[in-house]
Amino acid sequence: MNYNGAIFTISLDFELYWGMKDVISEERYKENLEGTAYAVSQILKLFSQYEIHATWAVVGFLYFKDRNTLMQNLPKNYPEYEDENIDLYKYIRNNTHLNKNSHFAPEIIEIISKSKNQEIATHTFSHFYTLEKGQNERLFKEDLISAIKVSKTKLHSIVFPRNQCNDDYLETLLELGIRAYRGNEKSWMYKSVNFKEKTSYGQKLARIVDTYIDISSHNTYSPDEIAKKRPYNIPASRFLRPYDPKLAFLDKIKISRIKKDMLYAAKNARVYHLWWHPHNFGSHTTKNLKTLEEILEYYLTLKSLYNFKSMNMKEIADLLDKNHK
């Protein structure tokens, strides 16, 4: 490869309540949802200050201004999930009023798209679950076509909702020009599961512990290994777990864990992929931004020492395409 250094990439799953409906009530999550717009503006300021190239995977529903315009642009065919709790099409039909701050964000998307070094990617049109009963590859393709249409731009990257990576659907990505996706960490605790299987209590506990103590190793990746197969799997390395008052006493350990991962990647010319949701920063915003800034300051140190380079997912795909034709 022409570039022999390490790569630092960030992806954000921009979904608002479309990605939380099956988890928590809108009222209980109100603070996070209403605080997302401000959080995004501050994240972008930090990205500009530290010259961070990031990927924003956007749920297509967010592009609309209200329920009426969304209803007018729904695809002809869509999934009918066996689990009605995750069926957002039914949710739309049954709710004549959808709060703007919780469900729509065209202005925020516009701001992100005009920000330097920021990639607009897809989180599918409808927060599509690829491992659930009631959907198939044909419906997935139709969903992505709708996502491309509403974005009014060429999409190069995708983040699968709930990290449900379905290997059987990867050829569909290539058909539609999507060259990169965020796969899961290799450890057993991060394995993709559907809602019926559910993530086991042991997996959930292990993931929480792994935030602070090294259980799954550094989760960094060789660019040459990523380049072997298209679409390129640029796997997650670490979820930036948001500030929790109950676990605040562990924050220094959490940040130290991420820094150790970054240092390993920088020294060994590997890819490190950090991710979170903008709504994670919607509450305790100042605390979360402080954590992010500390991480980005450390990135600059590693950039100076080891040529650690910030790249979004599209830029990584461009690099791999260029060097592995």
**Band of pLDDT at residue 325, cut at 50, 70 and 90:** low
Cα distance between residue 37 and residue 108, in whole Å: 7
More confident residue, 195 or 316: 316
Arithmetic mean of pLDDT, 152-167: 96
Q: Do the Cβ atoms of 34 and 97 come closer than 8 Å?
A: no
Name the percent of the chain lying above pLDDT 70.
Answer: 98
* pTM above threshold 0.75: yes
Query: 175-215, pLDDT tens digit by residue?
Result: 999 999 999 998 888 888 887 776 677 888 999 999 999 99
Q: Report whether pLDDT(319) > 80.
A: yes
Query: 223-256, pLDDT tens digit by residue?
Result: 999 999 999 999 999 999 999 999 999 999 999 9
**Band of pLDDT at residue 150, cut at 50, 70 and 90:** very high
Residues linked to residue 157 through DSSP beta bridges, in sequence order: 180
Query: 264-305, pLDDT tens digit by residue?
Result: 999 999 999 999 999 999 999 999 999 999 999 999 999 999
- Among all chains, which residue has been given the structure tokens 């086991």? 200
Average pLDDT over the chain reads 95
* Residue 5: predicted pLDDT: 82
Q: Can you list the domains of the chain with their CATH numbers?
A: 7-323 (3.20.20.370)
Q: Token digits for 8?
A: 């630092």
